[in-house]
Amino acid sequence: MSGVGGWREGSRYRTATASNTPSSSQGNPWNSENKAEEGENTQKVTTSEVKQSGQASAQQQQDRYVGPYVLVTPNATRRKQLEQIAKKELDDLEQWKKEHRPGPITLMPQRLGGNESEAQVRQNQQMILMQSKYQKKHKREEYVKAKKAAEEAEILKKKAIQREKVNWLLQT
């Protein structure tokens, strides 16, 4: 079936056969049909690029087509520039840290901890711990009382409104 209708033998994909269209197999980097032709094409491109000047030609020389992917080799000059910039920034950071380092702290020494002994402090902490349970209970009771009072006030307000409505209806 080779050559008939554009089918390659042993393949289920249709390929263009000897056409001059831009999507032909010769100029298509996605098609790895013929490795020898591909090598010749890249050789022709690189020789024409050598004649051209500028960074664009250097970039084209570094690109390599491998199947459906494009391998781009790193640019050494750009890498050096980036490394120099990074080194300069790190040096600037270190210099800034040295310049903005806080100075020594000068405080007069003083006795801390108050006048109570350790035993008294521990005893006070124990008392506070024991009382905290009762304080929480008392606080909770106060909250419940306040909530009930608010509900009672709301109920009384509603009752007063209803009484006014009844009185108004009786008068009319």
Residue 168 has pLDDT above 90, yes or no: yes
**Cα dist. 39→25, 36, 57 in Å?**
13, 5, 18
How does residue 56 score in pLDDT terms, banded at 50, 70 and 90?
low
Contact 62, 75 (CB under 8 A): yes
Number of residues assigned to the chain: 172
**Residues in Cβ contact with 94 at an 8 Å cutoff, skipping those fewer than 6 apart:** none
Q: pTM above 0.85?
A: no
How does residue 71 score in pLDDT terms, banded at 50, 70 and 90?
confident
3-state secondary structure of 121: helix
Q: Residue ranges per domain, the chain?
A: 1-33, 37-74, 121-172
Residue 12's pLDDT is 54
**Cα dist. 13→6, 9, 33, 65 in Å?**
9, 10, 11, 20
Residue 79's pLDDT is 95
The pLDDT of 140-151, averaged and rounded, is 98
Residue 129's pLDDT is 93
**More confidently predicted of 67 and 138:** 138
- CA-CA distance, 29 to 66, in Å (whole number)? 8
